[in-house]
Structure formats: C-alpha cells, structure tokens
Amino acid sequence: MPDRVSRWWLPALCGAAMLCVPAAAQAQSNAGCDNRVNDTPGKLVPCITTNDLWTHMEALQAIADANPGADGHPSRNSGEPGYKASVDYVADAMRKAGYDVRLQPYTFTYSSYIGTPSLSQVSPTPRSFTLISEWNPGSSQGDVTGAQVKPAGHTVMPPTPAPSSASGCDPSDFVGFAGKIALIQRGSCNFGVKVLNATHAGAVGVVIFNEGNPGRTGAFSGSMVDADGNPFVASIPVAFVPSTSAKASTTSTRPARRRS
C-alpha cells in the first residue's frame, strides 16, 4: 500500500507562485523592465520571459534534487527541507527585484512515507497495481500480506445513480473482520470513520473503492479525518482504488512506515 501520504504529487506553494503566469509568457527582451517600477499587471506581465521562467523551474528542481524526502524522491513538500529552501529561493529573488518580503509561519498536519508503497493482488490472478494511475495510498502505515479481503456491510452494488452508500460508516458493518482486509465502498461518511471502524473490528488493512456513480469510478485519494474532522495517520495500511478494482479477493499491501 501507499508510501507517501504527504502529497508528493503536489508542488510546494512557493514553487507554484513562480509558475502562475506561464500561459502569457513569451520569449522577449527585458529592456526597460529593470529600470522601472513594475507595480501593475500591465507592466509586469510583458517583463516575464520564457527563459526566465525556465531558469526558475530548473533552480526549483535542483532544490528538490538536493533535498530528497523520507521516501528518497526529490522533494519540495511542505514541512520538508526542500520546501524551506524553495521559500528562501523565492524570497531572495523577490527581494532582489525590489519587493518587501515577509514570511508568514503557519501550522499544518504533516506526515510522510518512508519508502515506496505498493499494492498487489495475490489471487485469483496475481498482479501489481500502478501507483497513482491504479491506486493511491491513504495516510497510513503498516504491512499486510496474503490476508483475505472481505466486503464491509451496506455496500451498494450496483451503485445508485447518485452517491448513497453508507458502507463502513457504522461499526456493525464489520462483523468477523479480525485478520482480514476490509473492502469498503466510498460513500456518505468520512474515509477516516470507515478506517477507524475497520481498525476497531480487528481488520489488518483497508481498501476503499470508488463508489461507481458517474464521476466516481476512477482512481482517487482521500484524507484521513475522523467524524469530528480531526486528521490522523491510520495504524493499518489504507489504499484507494477505482470502482473496477473492487473484485479483488486477496491482496498484499505495503504502505511503508510513516513519520508525522
């Protein structure tokens, strides 16, 4: 199962700020731009060039390469050294351009996988699922291999035209789940509620499949929050898969260790 719950596919905010005007960028001369106050969009946008943008992109990539995350991949994720280095880079560039820069600290929930998560099906046909395109990890940790997959109660198959499934939303949906991987349908309660109910019932892993309604069929991911909206890291591996993957019978999941 998953490895990096921290959104490794999301760029750091400071990096995004450097890339917010690209569609209008053209290769053109900076003549005059350095000798005036570019205090309006009309003055600033013509001074943005493709070459300058590319230079910043290369610099930000170099920062990511020099600051791998806990999973070993280049990273500028919030909460990691690459993010701070990116912030410093952007702040320095803006100061050199004449801006007054103030950094605003903020708190947020952080967690990261250690290693690369994996999800595989043992039977009836052995196969491995491709990260991101075929499955996504939840904010979780732990390993489980060869456990039987069991559907949770209140699963609605075939799905109704509009979202309606309460699968996994009530503890009674998990009778006899000790030592099993809970297969839960996406639906009407927080993903974390489903996972906590499965965990309390003794499940060793959770696979949440997309509900199957229009717009709810493909690969997806979700946050681990409880009924009160409090984020947490699940103590058993959690995977999110498309609705077409709900027929798997036996899986091996390895969300890797997490730190938070």
Domain boundaries, the chain: 13-96, 117-259
Helices 81-96 and 50-66 cross at an angle (nearest 10°) of: 150
Query: For the domain 117-259, what is the CATH code?
Result: 3.50.30.30
Closest CA to 232 of 258, 208, 254, 255: 258
Show the 3-state SS of 17-55.
HHCCCHHHCCCCCCCCHHHCCCCCHHHHHHHCCHHHHHH
Average pLDDT for the chain: 83
The pLDDT assigned to 39 comes to 82
pLDDT of residue 218: 94
pTM exceeds 0.75: no
d(CA 33, CA 46): 9
Query: One digit per residue, pLDDT tens: the chain, 260 residues?
Result: 433 333 322 233 333 333 333 334 443 345 578 788 878 888 888 888 899 999 999 999 999 999 998 888 899 998 899 999 999 999 999 998 888 999 999 888 888 888 889 999 888 889 999 999 999 999 999 999 989 999 999 999 999 999 999 999 999 999 999 999 999 999 999 999 999 999 999 999 999 999 999 999 999 999 999 999 999 999 999 999 999 887 544 455 555 444 44
Instruction: Indicate the SS3 state at residue 65.
Output: helix
Provide the token pair at 80. 């990691």
Q: What does the pLDDT read at residue 125?
A: 86
First and final C-alpha spacing in the chain = 17
